[in-house]
Structure 1
Amino acid sequence: MPENYRNDVVVLTSAMHMLMKFGDIQNAERIFRSNTKKDIISYNVLINGYNLNGESSKCFKILEEMSREGIVPNEITWNILIGACSQIGMIHRCEYVIDRIPLDIQNNRQIQNSLIDMWGKCGSVEKAQIAFKSIDDRDTVTYSAMINAFGLNGMGSEAIQLYKQMPNHLRDEVSHICVLNACSHSGLLHEARN
């Protein structure tokens, strides 16, 4: 890399992003460590890269490093970390992360949608339902995430019931696939045909 780009945070972050996309975690980490002007975007790229490459457990170590360095996580950071929790499926880790998310960010619909997905993948349908019910302005993603959570946990009838309650203008291919998958997981062949 030319000398004049070695301290450019945008160039370094872009290089990290590219390397992570190609699965070159080691060189992405090397660039990250050499960056003397790390910002929230640099940290988000690193955390997301770990997530994309199946190294989700490393995301939580970076969260601790951010805290030590005085870097405040933003909504994107929290969304990536919720995704990491979904991948590792450890409820105590999920609760630890959620307890650290500021309330103003926690109440964001995109974060709530991610929480529904996370709780569903971790087998805690009750917590997914709590997140679902807390959203006043539910969108297609909200309904699809909850339908999928039911389906992943063998609750096909509940998935069908929610799909029927879903406003018609919010139904799309994704929500339809989620309800069909829920029927498949629950052995509800007749209901899937209807």
Structure 2
Amino acid sequence: IISCINDVFNIDTCDEAHSKVFVITKIRLSELTVSSWHPYGTRDRRIPPFLLDKMPSNFLSKIFKIQAIINKTLMKCKDIDNAMHLFSSITKKSNYMYTIVFKGLITNNVAEKVLDLFDEMKIEPNQFTLTVLFNACAVLNNNRAMKIGKELLAKMPENYRNDNITSTSAINMLMKFGDVESAERIFQSIKAKDIITYGAMVKGYVGNEMFEKALDLFEQIDIELDDVTYTIIFNVCAKLCNDRAMKIGKKLLAKMPENCRNNNIISTSAIDMLMKFGDVESAERFFRSIKAKGADIHGALMNGYNLNGESWKCFKIFEEMKEKNIIPDEIAWNILIG
């Protein structure tokens, strides 16, 4: 049994892990059968608790294997109870162990448990653990999360502020709290800003409906943009739809690298922006330049026609979709039915 469990940390997928567990149950079926356990392929995809209980103490001392089981086999398969059971059995918990568990809890939509575990921590969180804690506080965005998140930020060592990942998580958290001024102070304190840091600030301004500030910051960016930034700025320009936004949006679109046109999310945002500007012809030209068009891009064009009083063109696009065997999404169907 243990030799099979030893292999778990070398397994990449949830299905493989549970297949291995199924092998374990077959090896010692007479000894370990539990009526509530359903092998892989039936109802319950979790590791049965009795397998964890059967692990010898010397196995539980092998930290890397425990990390693998928690992360790859339990958290990824949404088996929170067994993950927490195994985690609680570890006497000397490291920051790395906490980080793995915190990430798993957030992924499984139980971020409140992250704060519960944090309250029990006997060690100071390092920058990696802090990053995940800031993420949990941002997800929760309640009074408890705000209190803990701001306390963590106030106590954070000064050298952590130069870790862009940690600082970006702090900015995102503060923006979710609506504390724009504090987020701006953190941003200004970062010496070497990257595009992810800029993106967090721009996204934060958008989330707080401060669209002009988002463009102000965008005009200060002097490094190469990423896909997320293109999408956010196109959305900001579409939202404002004033002379400044039109100028910035069209200029950005003209300079955008060719490969970005095949990113459906960016292209959908660009078409939506042009349609909001009332520039139907430019939206159509951009649409025709895209090589791989999905349902969302067709839907954006149809929605734009609808906004600009050219609804009859939607049916032409619908016919094109049928010819290419593209199934309309919900937005497209609503436009056609409406």
Range class of TM-score, shorter chain: 0.7 to 0.9
Q: Partner amino acid for 2:293?
A: R
Number of residue equivalences: 178
Question: Of the candidates 83, 89, 94, which is equivalent to residue 249 of structure 2?
Answer: 94
Conserved 8 A contact 2:271-2:287: yes
Query: 1:140-167 CA deviation, whole Å, 9 max, x = no partner?
Result: 1111000100011111211233224323
Within 5 A, what are the aligned runs for 1:145-156?
Answer: 145-156=300-311
1:26 aligns with 2:178: no
TM-score (norm 2): 0.48
Residue 121 and residue 57 in structure 1: after superposition, are their counterparts in 2 closer, same or farther (change >3 A)? same
CA distance in 2, matches of 1:179, 1:20: 38
1:81 aligns with 2:233: yes
Give 2:206's aligned residue.
51
Give 1:135's aligned residue.
290
Within 5 A, what are the aligned runs for 1:1-194?
Answer: 1=153, 2-4=155-157, 5-67=160-222, 71-90=223-242, 91-106=246-261, 108-167=263-322, 168-180=325-337, 183=338
Q: Partner amino acid for 2:241?
A: G
CA distance in 1, matches of 2:314, 2:179: 39
- Shift in Å at residue 176 of structure 1? 1.0
Query: 1:63-99 CA deviation, whole Å, 9 max, x = no partner?
Result: 33221xxx22122211211111111113223222223
User: Rg bigger for which structure?
Assistant: 2
- Shift in Å at residue 45 of structure 1? 0.6
Residue 176 and residue 22 in structure 1: after superposition, are their counterparts in 2 closer, same or farther (change >3 A)? farther
Residue 139 and residue 106 in structure 1: after superposition, are their counterparts in 2 closer, same or farther (change >3 A)? closer
Q: Residue 66 of structure 1: SS of its match in structure 2?
A: coil
TM-score (norm 1): 0.81
Give 1:189's aligned residue.
none
CA distance in 1, matches of 2:204, 2:304: 25
- Gapped regions of structure 2 (runs ≥ 5): 1-152
Query: 1:38-73 CA deviation, whole Å, 9 max, x = no partner?
Result: 211100111111222222222232233221xxx221
Q: Residue 278 of structure 2: SS of its match in structure 1?
A: coil
Identical aligned pairs, as a percentage? Answer: 33
Conserved 8 A contact 2:260-2:267: no
Residue 109 and residue 173 in structure 1: after superposition, are their counterparts in 2 closer, same or farther (change >3 A)? closer
Conserved 8 A contact 1:113-1:132: no
CA distance in 1, matches of 2:336, 2:201: 34
Q: Partner amino acid for 2:249?
A: C
- Shift in Å at residue 129 of structure 1? 0.8
- Shift in Å at residue 106 of structure 1? 4.6
Cα RMSD, aligned residues only:
2.1
- Gapped regions of structure 1 (runs ≥ 5): 184-194
Q: Residue 138 of structure 1: SS of its match in structure 2?
A: coil
Residue 171 and residue 3 in structure 1: after superposition, are their counterparts in 2 closer, same or farther (change >3 A)? closer
Q: Partner amino acid for 2:193?
A: K
